[in-house]
Amino acid sequence: MDGLISTINSIKRESDMGIQIIATRPFNDQRPGTSGLRKKVSCFQQPGYLENFVQSIFDVIGDLKKETIVLGGDGRYYNRKAIQTIIKMAAANGIGRTMVALRGIISTPAASCVIRKYSLKGGIILSASHNPGGPEGDFGVKYDIENGGPSPEQLTEAIYRRSLEIDRYRIFDGPDVDLERVSEDHMGDMVVEVFDPIVDYVGLMEQLFDFDQIRELLSSGNFSMVFDAMNASTGPYARAIFEEVLNAPKAAVINAVPLPDFGGIHPDPNLKYARRLLEIMNSEDAPDFGAASDGDGDRNMILGRRFFVTPSDSLAVLAANAHLVPGYSKGLSGIARSMPTSMAPDIVAKDLGIPCYETPTGWKFFGNLLDAGRITLCGEESFGTGSDHLREKDGLWAVLFWLNIMAATGKSVQEIVEGHWRRFGRNFYSRHDYEGLEVDAANALMDHLRESLSDLVGRHFGGYEVEDADEFCYRDPVDGSLSTGQGIRIVFKKKSRIVFRLSGTGTVGATLRIYFERYEKDPLIHHQDIQKALSGLITAAGQIAQIRDYTGRDAPSLIT
């Protein structure tokens, strides 16, 4: 009885202070995927859905008193509403200070930068990355930890488990915060600071790259570039960096204003969705350099004049040329790539005499290696590249890295990449996605593959002989944790391979991703069309996985 009375008293005390405790029921679908919890906007709009997940985060991350977190998102639809809710929940959960991004917009790398620079407890980033926005589109929430990187699997699992038993959340009964101007105020006991994250981010880039050399290139009148911000979070950063600091001509940044529906663009910088940029870069009078970033600013696509750089090659090129860039001129400790990424970076690592780690898909797996100082650069085939300057991938950083290399060498994108192939050989590479599959059909295909693994070795498909076949699992060399079921690898003789895995970021049905790679040392073959160069492997994948039988599809819905 005494216990009950003291609970009632403490609830009364809290409600006098403006804190409300709201009863809720668990949702059973709040398990974070490759990068946070992603669902349709309409799903997040269900009463209590966002609140339950955010409360689960607060419940799991421990004592928050005196702690500071950063909060912001990629500007997509529902961003502002969710931010107001989360500020109030933070205040009711005893957080010391919440740093809210001006206008509610922060890129993922900028959030990572701020967490690290100010030694914050962590950050809540509202983003569904490259997924479409608007009321019919997707929304997402992810939590970055104190090293500025994504929550490791143990933490996301703990948050998920908490979400399954949650029965109440805490929220402050107060007015909305004005996100339009920089300010500092109180909400209950919590300090709410509205700040501009661009300054910190630009400052970090200035430390890494030779801004004078890049400025000279961009203002020389002999060099032109275009950066496509896809109406998402990087527009204001790109304008500040390229136009204001580096003196690029005003038209250098297109789609620069963040919009809640990204202006109808699917903010994924690849050969299908960065349409405007591709038109420009494929035109007769194309600029020398083109690049794009995704919704939350962590991805990048690099283009030369009528020339596409695969993200795997990009990582390899950055590694091979890192000595030209001030922030990396002392050398690299190691490189890491996600398993499906091509092995082009491995070849450079070998040449440099440094280790190259192969991790599962998802940036979170790089965190320990970066923290332990084992790697300096890392990347994924999915247009993600980054380094130990942060714990997230970083789109604008990659763009600046390329500009720095171009400024230092005086070479074009195409000259740099073709020179790289001549020196190290070329890894022909492509990814085929089958999107929107029935979940059961996609799982059945993967089960079938898994079961046939042991029978494949020694057999021939599409002119290739299978040398090895397995399901990738990863033992983290730093903390010893094991991640299983990370994709099926079929390795062929002559340094070629196919990887099959299911996406962990989609919100509708299942997406099967198939990754093809073929190594070619002979420069006479380097200029072949990629899909043609990979055609034997593409046939092999169809036969091995019986794609048509399981999915009913004749062709992928997206080729990158």
Looking at the annotation, which residues are catalytic? Answer: 129
Minimum gap (Å) between residue 95 Cβ and ligand G1P: 27
Minimum gap (Å) between residue 359 Cβ and ligand G1P: 10
Residue 122 DSSP class:
E
Identify the H or E element spanning 434. strand 426-437
Strand-pairing partners, residue 20, are 171
- The nearer residue to ligand G1P, 307 or 365, going by C-beta atoms, is 365
- The nearer residue to ligand G1P, 91 or 335, going by C-beta atoms, is 335
CB atoms within 10 A of CB 341: 30
Closest CB to Zn ion: residue number: 129
**Radius of gyration over every alpha carbon of the chain, rounded to an integer in angstroms:** 24
Minimum gap (Å) between residue 317 Cβ and ligand G1P: 19
Residue 150 DSSP class:
B
- Give the binding site for ligand G1P (CB under 6 A): 34-35, 129, 338, 361-363, 380, 382, 384, 503-505, 513
Q: In sequence order, what are the residues at sequence separation of 6 or more whose Cβ sits closer than 8 angstroms to the Cβ of residue 56? A: 30, 159, 160, 162, 163, 166
- Closest alpha carbon to 293 in 359, 226, 363: 226
- The nearer residue to ligand G1P, 36 or 304, going by C-beta atoms, is 36
Read off the amino acid at residue 454.
Answer: S
- The nearer residue to ligand G1P, 55 or 314, going by C-beta atoms, is 314
- The nearer residue to ligand G1P, 72 or 395, going by C-beta atoms, is 395
- The nearer residue to ligand G1P, 131 or 163, going by C-beta atoms, is 131
The site partner of 362 among Zn ion, ligand G1P, none (C-beta below 5 to 8 Å per kind) is ligand G1P
CB atoms within 10 A of CB 257: 13
The tokens for 230 are 């896809």
Taking CB under 5 A as the criterion, the residue among 30, 93, 98, 129 binding Zn ion is 129
The site partner of 385 among Zn ion, ligand G1P, none (C-beta below 5 to 8 Å per kind) is none
The site partner of 34 among ligand G1P, Zn ion, none (C-beta below 5 to 8 Å per kind) is ligand G1P
d(CA 328, CA 351): 17
The site partner of 137 among Zn ion, ligand G1P, none (C-beta below 5 to 8 Å per kind) is none
Measured in degrees and rounded to the nearest 5, phi and psi for residue 550 equal -80, -35
Minimum gap (Å) between residue 214 Cβ and Zn ion: 24
Helix axes 395-409, 413-424, angle to 10 degrees: 90
- The nearer residue to ligand G1P, 296 or 418, going by C-beta atoms, is 296
Read off the amino acid at residue 496.
Answer: S
Minimum gap (Å) between residue 265 Cβ and Zn ion: 14
d(CA 429, CA 537): 11
The site partner of 382 among ligand G1P, Zn ion, none (C-beta below 5 to 8 Å per kind) is ligand G1P
Helix axes 535-545, 439-456, angle to 10 degrees: 100
- The nearer residue to ligand G1P, 308 or 363, going by C-beta atoms, is 363
The site partner of 363 among Zn ion, ligand G1P, none (C-beta below 5 to 8 Å per kind) is ligand G1P
Asked whether the beta carbons of 455 and 444 are under 8 A apart, the reply is: no
Q: In sequence order, what are the residues at sequence separation of 6 or more whose Cβ sits closer than 8 angstroms to the Cβ of residue 404? A: 209, 210, 213, 214, 324, 325
d(CA 310, CA 328): 22
Measured in degrees and rounded to the nearest 5, phi and psi for residue 403 equal -60, -40
Q: In sequence order, what are the residues at sequence separation of 6 or more whose Cβ sits closer than 8 angstroms to the Cβ of residue 559? A: 271, 272, 430, 431, 432, 433, 531
The site partner of 296 among Zn ion, ligand G1P, none (C-beta below 5 to 8 Å per kind) is Zn ion
Residues in 285-304 that interact with Zn ion by CB under 5 A: 294, 296, 298
Pinpoint the alpha helices (H) of 188-305.
198-208, 211-218, 235-238, 275-282
Asked whether the beta carbons of 144 and 122 are under 8 A apart, the reply is: yes
Whose tokens are 């400790």? That residue is: 333
Asked whether the beta carbons of 256 and 235 are under 8 A apart, the reply is: yes
d(CA 293, CA 241): 14
> Binding of Zn ion at residue 138 (CB under 5 A)?
no
Minimum gap (Å) between residue 511 Cβ and ligand G1P: 6
Q: Residue 297: which region, alpha, beta or left (left: phi > 0; alpha: psi -120 to 50)? A: left
Strand-pairing partners, residue 38, are 140
- The nearer residue to Zn ion, 294 or 381, going by C-beta atoms, is 294
Minimum gap (Å) between residue 504 Cβ and ligand G1P: 3
Helix axes 413-424, 344-352, angle to 10 degrees: 70
- The nearer residue to ligand G1P, 74 or 380, going by C-beta atoms, is 380
Minimum gap (Å) between residue 22 Cβ and Zn ion: 32
- Closest alpha carbon to 217 in 396, 416, 402: 402
Chain positions contacting Zn ion, by CB under 5 A: 129, 294, 296, 298
